[in-house]
Amino acid sequence: MKKFVAGMLSFCMMAALATACSTTETDATTAAPAGGETTAAPAGDETTEDTSGKEIINLYAFTEEVPTMVQAFLDSHPDFAAQYAINKTVIPTTDQAYQPALDQALINGGEDAPDMYVCEEAFIIKYTQGDMASYAAPYEDLGIDVENEIAAAQIAQYTVDAGTNPDGKVVALGYQTTGGAFIYRRSIATEVFGTDDPDTIATQIGAGSNNWDAFWDTAATLASNNIAIVSSIGDMWNVVKHQPGTSAWLTDDEQLNIDPNRESFLDIAKNLIDNGYCNDTTAWQDAWFADMAGVGDKPVFGFFGPAWLVNYTLAPNCGGSAEGEGTYGDWAVCPSPVGFFWGGSWVLCNANSDKKEAVGQIIEWITLDTSTTGLQYYWANGMLSTDNYATDGIMPEGTYTSDSVASAVVMDMSDGTSAFLGGQNMFEVFVPANSYASGEGMTQYDENINAEWQNQAGYYAHGEVTRDEAIENFTNNVTDLLGL
Tally of CA atoms within 13 A in the half-sphere of 311 that contains its CB? 25
- Give residue 49's pLDDT: 54
Q: Can you give the residue range of the structural domain that contains 71?
A: 2-177+344-413
- Give residue 1's pLDDT: 55
DSSP state of 57: E
- Give residue 39's pLDDT: 36
**124-142, pLDDT tens digit by residue?**
999 999 999 999 999 999 9
Q: What is the maximal distance between C-alpha atoms in the chain?
A: 70
- Give residue 46's pLDDT: 56
What is the distance between the alpha carbons of residues 315 and 328, in angstroms, rounded to a whole number?
7
Tell me the three state secondary structure of residue 99.
Answer: helix
- What backbone phi and psi angles, to 5 degrees, belong to 441? 75, 25
**190-221, pLDDT tens digit by residue?**
999 999 999 999 999 999 999 999 999 999 99
- Give residue 484's pLDDT: 83
On whether both 201 and 237 belong to a single domain, the answer is yes
Give the CATH number for residue 44: 3.40.190.10
What is the distance between the alpha carbons of residues 110 and 453, in angstroms, rounded to a whole number?
39
On whether both 224 and 136 belong to a single domain, the answer is no
**460-475 CB burial, b ≥16 within 10 A, e <16:** bbeeebeeeebbebbe
On whether both 377 and 283 belong to a single domain, the answer is no
Are 328 and 422 in contact, with CB atoms under 8 Å apart?
Answer: no
On whether both 318 and 388 belong to a single domain, the answer is no
On whether both 275 and 400 belong to a single domain, the answer is no
Q: Which residues have C-beta within 8 Å of that of residue 327, sequence separation ≥ 6?
A: 185, 292, 293, 294, 318, 319, 320
- Give residue 375's pLDDT: 98
Tally of CA atoms within 13 A in the half-sphere of 46 that contains its CB? 18
Are 460 and 470 in contact, with CB atoms under 8 Å apart?
Answer: yes
What is the distance between the alpha carbons of residues 214 and 207, in angstroms, rounded to a whole number?
9
Decide which of 413, 431, 462 is a domain's last residue: 413
Q: Which amino acid appears at position 324 of this protein?
A: G
What is the distance between the alpha carbons of residues 417 and 406, in angstroms, rounded to a whole number?
18
Q: Which residues have C-beta within 8 Å of that of residue 117, sequence separation ≥ 6?
A: 59, 60, 61, 102, 106, 127, 347, 348, 350
Decide which of 379, 413, 447 is a domain's last residue: 413
On whether both 364 and 381 belong to a single domain, the answer is yes
**217-274, pLDDT tens digit by residue?**
999 999 999 999 999 999 999 999 999 999 999 999 889 999 999 999 999 999 999 9
What is the distance between the alpha carbons of residues 238 and 376, in angstroms, rounded to a whole number?
25
Tell me the three state secondary structure of residue 155.
Answer: strand
* Percentage helix, strand, coil for the chain under 3-state DSSP, each rounded to 5: 45, 15, 40
Q: What is the pLDDT along the chain (484 residues), one digit of tens a residue?
A: 544 444 444 444 444 433 333 332 333 333 334 444 333 333 455 555 556 789 999 999 999 999 999 999 999 999 999 999 999 999 999 888 999 999 999 999 999 999 999 999 999 999 999 999 999 999 999 999 999 999 999 999 999 999 999 999 999 999 999 999 999 999 999 999 999 999 999 999 999 999 999 999 999 999 999 999 999 999 999 999 999 999 999 999 889 999 999 999 999 999 999 999 999 999 999 999 999 999 999 999 999 999 999 999 999 999 999 999 999 999 999 999 999 999 999 999 999 999 999 999 999 999 999 999 999 999 999 999 999 999 999 999 999 999 999 999 999 999 999 999 999 999 999 999 999 999 989 999 999 999 999 999 999 999 999 999 999 999 999 999 998 8
**159-177, pLDDT tens digit by residue?**
999 999 999 999 999 999 9
- Give residue 186's pLDDT: 99
On whether both 58 and 163 belong to a single domain, the answer is yes
On whether both 132 and 211 belong to a single domain, the answer is no
213-223 vs 198-205: helix crossing angle, rounded to 10? 100
Residues recorded for the chain: 484
Q: Which residues have C-beta within 8 Å of that of residue 69, sequence separation ≥ 6?
A: 175, 366, 375, 384
On whether both 267 and 396 belong to a single domain, the answer is no
Measure the CA angle with vertex 139, ends 136 and 145; round to 5°.
Answer: 175
Task: Pinpoint the alpha helices (H) of 275-367.
Answer: 286-292, 307-309, 356-367
**Residues paired with 87 in a beta bridge:** 48, 58
Decide which of 388, 413, 438 is a domain's last residue: 413
Q: Which residues have C-beta within 8 Å of that of residue 238, sequence separation ≥ 6?
A: 180, 304, 305, 340, 342
| Cα-Cα-Cα-Cα dihedral sign, residues 176, 319, 189, 213 | negative
Split into its structural domains, the chain has a count of 2
On whether both 334 and 453 belong to a single domain, the answer is yes
On whether both 284 and 386 belong to a single domain, the answer is no
On whether both 173 and 222 belong to a single domain, the answer is no
* pTM more than 0.95: no
